[in-house]
Structure 1
Amino acid sequence: MDDDDWLAQRFEAHRPHLRAVAFRILGSLSDAEDAVQEAWLRLSRSDTSEVENLGGWLTTVVARVSLNLLQTRRSRREDPQGARVPDELAGWAGTAQPEDEALLSDSVGPALLVILDSLEPAERLAFVLHDLFAVPFDEIAPIVGRSPAAARQLASRARRRVRGAEPPRDADRRRQREVVAAFLTASRNGQFDALLALLDPRITLRADDATVRMGASSEVLGARAVAETFSGRARGARLALIDGAPGALWAVDGRPRVAFRFTVAAGKILAITMTSDPATLSTLDMEVLTDEILTDPAG
């Protein structure tokens, strides 16, 4: 076996771990694969003869690549220009992908993924590396360009935010339902300021591939951009329970077309996911609620 084959074998042994790290940082399976591939390219071009812990070296490379991708994604998509939901949905008259959820199932679920999406890139990386993969802050610090103490603070802020989105009690669920109902009412009535008041400043709106093909933006970041996306829309949205949590549903002739899943904590919407892939919709437990709460959101 030559050196290249030996190195490739060692890399393949670490691939599942690297893929898991990248996915939990990036929240995108395709981006995670790109980050892992970039790590391989860097490994193949580097002299690692003095590297004692190849797994740690590769994890650091994947983390750096993932952080760069997160920062690029955020800077590219914060601009609200072009942020939209499909025209088909705008005049309603009437998503984590399955493979992503499978990848998450061993240590982080879809609910946590949407919370992670609301974090700043450095916060997300510090939290994922330390809390999910037990990477010491001394090793995280140079990746995020901070001191170990500052890296610890990043992870601590992220941890508080994640804990704030733990599964709610019945009273919390009622409050979440009121927030979603108020959002739908403000959206369809074009009440921009009311929408802003309901959204966390770092909210993330995500759409699955099927919804993107309908004309939606794949991701919209920030309260103002999300409010502009929904203001004056959602005219036919129905308040619904999606897997037991307050959400919204658009159906045509009784057939669900788009499910809207909301992540709400402390009275603010942290994330919205639009799902229209038929295979995914078929796995969701969906129940349309009455319209009473839409006319009296605080009642």
Structure 2
Amino acid sequence: MDAATVARFEASRDRLASLAYRLLGSAADAEDTVQDAFLRWQAADHASVRVPEAWLTKIVTNLALDRLRSAKVRRERAVGTWMPEPLLEGDPMLGPADTVEQRESVTMAVLTIMERLSPVERAAYVLREAFSYSHAEIAGILGITESGSQQHTHRARRRVAAAGNSTGIDQVSARHVVEAFVAAAASGRTERLVALLTDDATGVTDSAAMGLAGKPLRYPTPERIASAVRAGFKPSPAKRKLAGGSPSIHAAMVNGCPAVLVALGDRVAGVTILEVDGDKIAGVRGITAPDRLRRLTEIWRRREHDVPLIESW
């Protein structure tokens, strides 16, 4: 394959990766899908490909759908046992973010909701809302009718709207949210944490920080969230040993939301994503599993970091 053909693919790589990530919720799976698409592109009769971008979009979409439909993935993603892989603000895999729909489609809340959609509903929603494809184009990509595309997108929109997402927070406001959350957690007073949460706030963590594997731990009320955060935030020699040292604590933006980022040197040891509704926190999502933080750590290592909120925990 000549350099021009490779360059044509590379020009689309970031867009294809952001499409695959929205469909799969996993950066690792998205990278693998794009690499599989490159192998298809390498073997293709390029003279017969009239619009490379459209051809590659169709290939990546259908490769991602094949992954979603596989028995292995269905077992791994059994309802209630899977969490999306977080991405740091500025990661090209987050893709277009000009519209509310584009920003919304990469929030942890929406990626989780999309696990409840059929693969075709998920693809129709992403292609329409995040990449502005027409229903006629979506029909061609997915091998369905135009009216089918409209129906799938409508059903997906209805599910996503029920999640009540908010993605309109700027960097300065996001930092203030994180500072208030960290200050309340460090105080050891659950009432300060509860005051930051909506009445119907919920929380979930992957439990890896506790050395556990299996289903995420869920916290269905503000009081349960506050108790868990207070307990988790209290330092101890055993916790530092499990973490591998005394980490620094930073404010960050992850998947469009404010986040508490825990770092040991240039390694991210955990993130807590704060989903904001108005002036309060409606959702708290904690992720500490190293395999879910691999790409986030890679992006973190390339960045200049703000002054930490806590230098040494």
Q: Same fold (TM over 0.5)?
A: yes
What TM-score do the two structures reach when normalised by structure 1? 0.57
Correspondence for 1:21: 19
Correspondence for 1:177: 198
Provide Cα deviations, 1:85-126, integer angstroms capped at 9, x if missing partner.
Answer: 9xxxxxxxxx62326766427414478432133121322211
Correspondence 1:64-143 to 2 at 5 A: 64-72=62-70, 74-79=73-78, 96-98=86-88, 103-104=93-94, 106-107=96-97, 108-109=102-103, 112-114=106-108, 115-119=110-114, 120=117, 121-141=119-139, 143=141
Provide Cα deviations, 1:214-253, integer angstroms capped at 9, x if missing partner.
Answer: 54558x6xxxxx6xx5499x9985269xxxxxx8872123
Instruction: Give the match's secondary structure for 1:150.
Output: helix
Instruction: Give the match's secondary structure for 2:46.
Output: coil
Q: Is the 8 A contact 2:22 2:126 kept in 1?
A: yes
Which residue identity lines up with residue 76 of structure 1 in the other structure?
R
Of 49, 52, 58, the residue aligned with 2:50 is: 52
Q: Matches of 1:80 and 1:106 in 2, distance apart?
A: 28
Would the alpha carbon gap of residues 57 and 158 (structure 1) be closer, same or farther in structure 2, given more than 3 Å must change?
Answer: same
1:250 aligns with 2:240: no
Correspondence for 2:149: 151
Q: Matches of 1:110 and 1:217 in 2, distance apart?
A: 29
Which of the pair has the greater relative contact order for Cα pairs under 8 Å at 6+ separation?
A: 1
The structure 1 segments of at least 4 consecutive aligned residues displaced by more than 6 Å after TM superposition are: 173-176, 254-259, 277-280
Correspondence for 2:285: 273
Correspondence 1:215-234 to 2 at 5 A: 215-217=211-213, 229-230=217-218
Q: Which runs of 5+ in 2 are unaligned?
A: 168-193, 237-246, 250-261, 263-269
Q: Which runs of 5+ in 1 are unaligned?
A: 86-94, 185-204, 221-225, 241-246, 287-299
- How large is the RMSD of aligned CA atoms in angstroms? 4.7
Q: Matches of 2:130 and 2:150 in 1, distance apart?
A: 14
Q: CA deviation at 1:48?
A: 2.8
Matched length: 226
Q: CA deviation at 1:60?
A: 0.5
Q: Matches of 1:249 and 1:141 in 2, distance apart?
A: 50
Q: CA deviation at 1:67?
A: 1.6
Q: Matches of 1:162 and 1:75 in 2, distance apart?
A: 21
Q: Percent identity?
A: 25
Q: Matches of 1:154 and 1:15 in 2, distance apart?
A: 27
